[in-house]
Amino acid sequence: MDKLLSLLSENPRLTNSQLSVMLDTTEEEVERRIADFEKNSVICGYSSVINWDKVPGSEKVTALIELKVTPRRDSGYEAVADEILSFPEVESMYLMSGGYDLAVYVTGKTFQDIAMFVATRLAPIDSVISTATHFMLKKYKENGVRLEGETPDERSPLF
């Protein structure tokens, strides 16, 4: 695995100078490689894992919506996927194997927001055959990060 990418994916706040020390290279080289990764969409963005439930007034509701869609003759799943991912409510989206086609993660302020979004925006799309909405009750882990209850360090300092 590329060491620079694996460092960035786990520690996105490291500076280029810190990265260069660990990788035995120059700051300029790190900067150039990151720019290349960004240009080629290897690094697609930077985001923080935030537990919004802990920010008063910013609580969010998230749902996983299973969509069954009819692929279009000319463009397969791509055109309908493109139509759906353009909605700002859609946080993540994946084409799936198995019982349904698209897994769409939607966030809103309330349950009602999401219900309305499904009813008025997703369901009416021509290719959409059916929807099944699953509301998330609790987040335990996101993007590899445990959101609560960090395991305490049980190591003894004596050795």
Contacting residue, 40, 56, 140, 159, with another protein by CB under 8 A:
159
Contacting residue, 16, 18, 31, 100, with another protein by CB under 8 A:
18
Site for another protein in 21-80 (CB under 8 A): 21-24
Residues 67 and 85: their CA atoms lie apart, in Å, by: 13
Is the Cβ–Cβ distance between 151 and 100 less than 8 Å? no
Q: How far is the CB of 141 from another protein (least distance, A)?
A: 16
Our CB check for another protein shows the closer of 64 and 147 to be 147
What would you report as the CA-atom Rg of the chain, rounded to the nearest whole angstrom?
21
Residues 41 and 33: their CA atoms lie apart, in Å, by: 12
Phi and psi angles of residue 93, each rounded to the nearest 5 degrees, phi first: -155, 140
Our CB check for another protein shows the closer of 3 and 32 to be 3
Asked if 155 touches another protein (CB under 8 A), the answer is yes
Question: How is residue 89 annotated by DSSP?
Answer: T
Question: How is residue 72 annotated by DSSP?
Answer: B
Asked if 14 touches another protein (CB under 8 A), the answer is yes
Q: How far is the CB of 151 from another protein (least distance, A)?
A: 10
Instruction: Name the residue type at position 53.
Output: D
Q: How far is the CB of 50 from another protein (least distance, A)?
A: 16
Our CB check for another protein shows the closer of 14 and 64 to be 14
Q: How far is CA 36 from the centre of its chain?
A: 22
Contacting residue, 57, 98, 124, 157, with another protein by CB under 8 A:
157
Asked if 138 touches another protein (CB under 8 A), the answer is no
Distances (CA, A) of 4 to 48, 145, 150: 18, 19, 26
- Where along the sequence are the contacts to another protein (CB under 8 A)? 3, 7, 10-11, 14, 18, 21-24, 153, 155-159
